[in-house]
A and B are shown apart, each in its own frame.
Chain A
C-alpha cells in the first residue's frame, strides 16, 4: 500500500546552487539531479529525517518537515498504528525499530526537582572550593580487617575508579562503526571513565584502550575469548537490555562484514543472532557460576558487572544478583536505546529506570546488602540533571549511550537498523563510516562530559555538597511534582512543598 511520505523535503529553488551535496550525502538516495530540467528532485518516501542534507546544504536551501497529509484523525487508531497494520498485512513480518522508546510515556526525571541551600546551610562555590566527583564501583567489605601490626589491611575486591559518575554504555562494534568505537575508546581514556564493547567483541586496534574498557559477555558469546576477557578493566555479563527485555540481539548480515565478522568470530555476511537467554543461565544459581567462571578465568583481578533490563520484579532480581558474587549491577530502563529491536517489545516491555532504580536501591538497603554491589543506572540519562537525580535516588554511576551518539553527530532519526546511518555511526559502509572523524568524535564526547561535570558540580555546590559520595542515595535532596502518592512512595521522595 502506498502512502503519502511521512516527511516532505522543502527545497528553496531560488537558493539552491545545484552543488549536489545533498545527493552525495544521502545514503537513502532521496535527492538526485535532473539533467533535463537542471533541477534537484527528491523521492521523499525514502527520507528518514536524519537532517544530514539540511546540515550540509551550503545555502540553507533545504528543510525537512513533517507531512501534514494524514489519515483521518482518530485518537484510538493513530496514523502510525494504522500504517503499521497495513505494513504487517503486506509483509507478515515483525516491525523493527531503533533507538529508545519515543512514545509519550512518563519521564520521571522531569517530575523530580533538586534542592538548594538557603540560609541555614551555605551553598558551595565550585569555582572556589574543591568539588569531588570521583567514584569507585565494586564490592565493599562488611568489616575492616587489620594487619598484625594494627594497621588497616587495605586489600579490596577489584574496583573501577571513575573521574565522574558517567560511563559510555554498551554499543557493539558492528551495530556502530569502527570510528564510533574509536571515538568512545579515546574519549573514555582521556576522561578517566569507561566505555563498553557491547556484545561484538573488541577490535584488535582497541586493545590499547583496555584500561578504560568494559568487555561484555552476552548470550551469543560473540568475540569472547581469553585475551578479550583479560583486555578490559571489567567484565559485563549482559542478561538483558532495556530496549528489548527478554530477547537477544540481532546484527543483520549486511553489517557483519570485514573486521566486524572477524572480531565477532562469525562468518562474513551471516546474521549474528544472540539467543534470548544465556543457555547456561536458566536460574540465579547458574548466573553465580558464570560470574565465578569469569572471575576464575581472570584470576579475580576484574570486577564483574551484571546488566539487566528493568522489568516488573527488578528489586527481587537485583537482590539475587547482589548475592551472586557480582560486583556491580547495571539496570537498563525501558527508554534505553538500541541498534535494532522489535517495535512492540521496545515500546511495551519493561519499566521506567527511575522507578526501577529507586526500588532496587531500597530493597538492597532493606536487606542490608547495598554494600555488596554498586549500581549503574542506564536507559535514557539525558543530562547532568538526570545524573544528579539518579545518584540522589541511589545510583553509584550512570551509563549513557544515546547522549554519547548525539555528541558524535547522531540526529536521532531512529533508523540505525537499516545500516545506512548518514552520520557514520550506526553503519558499516566505508563511505559513511569515514564521515565520523574519531579525532572530532572523541573531542566532542570529551566536551560533553566536561560540560556535564561542571553542571554536576554546580548542582552539588548549590545543595552544599562537595563530594558525590554525599549525594548518593540522598533522596532528601529531591522533591516530586505532579506525582501520585504511590509514585512518590516508590521513588522514596516527598512532594514539592512538603
Chain B
C-alpha cells in the first residue's frame, strides 16, 4: 500500500507565483491562474493551490475556516467540536465548477467563526492562540477533517490537480484579492491527498514553497518543542510553523526572520558594521535550529503584504518584477510575463535576501 501523506516524508519540486498591488487594488484570480500555465512542467498534477488576501471584506472580523471533510460524519463531529469554542457566523459550501480534471473531491466548506469570549477567559489565551490550538487538534488526524486555511479576510484554495485546473475548479475569477499566491506541486511520491497540496496556512500566514530542505528534521524537532505538530511531514508545513513561531510568538520582524531562516554566512556577518554584526550574530546564536538549508524559494503571504525569500545559496530560481503599484514574484520569468506582458523591471534577488512588499497603510 502506498503510504498516506504524513505517514512518510515526500520530497517535491514545484512552481510558485504571486502578485500583489501595493495600492491595495483588488484583482480577480484570472491573471494568477494564467501565470501557472507556462510553468506547467514544474508540476505533475498531484497538487495545486492558491491563497488570496482581501477576499472577504464583509466578513473581515471573522476567521474564515476552509475545511475538507472526508464524509458527513466527520463533518458533524468537527462542527460539534468547533461549536465548543466558537460562534458559527456562517457555514456554507465553497462553490466549485465540476471539471473532468479534478476528481475525488471531499466535502469542501467555508465556515466563518468568532471565538467565544468565555472560552478565551477560561483558557487565558488570546484568540489567535485559540484558533491555532483548535485547528491543530482537528488536523492532528487529517483522515477525517482537515482545516486548510484559517485566517481573517483571506483564504486558501487547493486540490489534487494541475494548478490552472484547480484555479478554474474553485472559480477564482469570482474572487477579488489585493494579493494572490499560487503553487504547483511535483511530489516524487504521493497518493495525492487534497490537504497535501499547497499553500499551507496558519492564521493569516500562507506559504508556497519550491524546494526540498535538507534541514527538515532539525527544524521539525525544534519547532515541535513549542506545541506545533508536523503531521504532514512537508517542508512547507514546517516553514509555516517557523514563520508563525518567529513572527507571532517571538515578535521578530520579517527582516529578522529572514536573517534566521536564511542566515547570512559568518564570513558575511564579519564584514558588517558593528550594530548589524551584533544583531545577526545574536539571531544565529539564539535560533540556530531554525536555519533552513537546502534549496528553497518561498513566498510568505500575510495580512497586508508578502515576503519572498530564497535559500542563502540560491539553489532554486526565483524572479521578481515591478510595474506601477504591482509586484510579481515567480519561479520563472515567463510566469511574470503572462501577468504583465510589457513589464521592464525584472530582477533576481540574491540568496537569503528577503523581498518584502507591503500594501499601503489603510488601503484595504
Q: Please give the residue numbers on chain A whose beta carbons come within 8 Å of chain B beta carbons, in ascending order.
A: 117, 120-122, 124, 129-130, 132, 134-136, 140-141, 143-144, 146, 151-152, 154, 156, 159, 365, 368, 370-371, 463-467, 469-477
Contact = CB atoms under 8 A, between A and B. Distances in A.
B188 A469 contact: no
Contacts of A470: 214-215, 218-219, 291-294
Contact of B286 (A124, A129, A141, A477): A141
Contacts of B213: 121
Given A117-B214, A466-B293, A473 B250 contact: no
Contacts of A159: 285
B125 interface: no
Contact of A464 (B12, B214, B252, B267): B214
Contacts of B173: none
Interface stretch (B34-42, B155-163, B176-184, B221-229): B221-229
Given A120-B188, A124-B313, A365-B224, A464 B285 contact: no
Contacts of B285: 136, 140, 156, 159
B223 to A, nearest CB: 10
Which residue among B222, B256, B285 has the maximum number of chain A CB atoms within 10 Å of its CB?
B285
Contact of A473 (B9, B217, B251): B217
B347 interface: no
A156 B282 CA distance: 8
B265 A474 contact: no
Interface string B292-319: 1111000000000000000011010000
B165 to A, nearest CB: 24
Contacts of A465: 214-215, 293-294
Interface string B11-27: 11100000000000000
Interface of B: 9, 11-13, 188, 211-219, 221-222, 224-226, 250-252, 256, 263, 265-267, 275, 278-279, 281-289, 291-295, 312-313, 315
B114 to A, nearest CB: 29
A467 B286 contact: no
A473 B289 contact: yes
Contact of A144 (B216, B250, B266, B312): B250
B294 A144 contact: no
Given A156-B285, A469-B288, A368 B214 contact: no
Contacts of B294: 117, 121, 464-465, 470
9 contacts: A121-B211, A134-B266, A154-B282, A465-B293, A466-B313, A469-B218, A469-B291, A472-B288, A473-B217
Given A156-B282, A465-B293, A469-B289, A120 B218 contact: no
A117 B294 CA distance: 10
A316 to B, nearest CB: 18
Contacts of A140: 285-287
A143 B248 CA distance: 12
B218 A464 contact: no
Nearest to B267: A130
B60 to A, nearest CB: 28
Nearest to A141: B286
Nearest to A472: B218
Nearest to A159: B285
A475 B216 CA distance: 9
Contacts of B283: 152
Nearest to B285: A136
Contacts of B287: 140
A392 B268 CA distance: 26
Nearest to A369: B225
Contacts of A471: 215, 218
5 A-B pairs closest in CB distance:
A470-B215, A476-B217, A464-B214, A469-B288, A474-B218
Contacts of B222: 365, 370, 473
A136 B315 contact: no
A370 B221 CA distance: 10
B216 A474 contact: yes
Given A134-B266, A473-B221, A129 B313 contact: yes
Contacts of A473: 217-218, 221-222, 289
A154 B259 CA distance: 14
A124 B215 CA distance: 13
Given A132-B266, A470-B218, A120 B11 contact: yes
Contact of A365 (B225, B250, B275): B225
A374 B157 CA distance: 42
Given A120-B212, A152-B283, A464-B295, 10 more contacts: A117-B214, A120-B12, A121-B211, A129-B313, A156-B282, A365-B224, A467-B293, A470-B214, A474-B221, A477-B214
B250 A152 contact: no
A154 B221 contact: no
A368 B225 contact: yes
A469 B282 CA distance: 14
Contacts of B251: 144, 146
A472 B216 CA distance: 11
Contacts of A129: 313
Given A152-B256, A370-B225, A476 B216 contact: yes
Nearest to B187: A120
A468 B99 CA distance: 48
Contacts of A477: 214, 217
Which residue among B9, B212, B288 has the maximum number of chain A CB atoms within 10 Å of its CB?
B288
Contacts of B250: 143-144
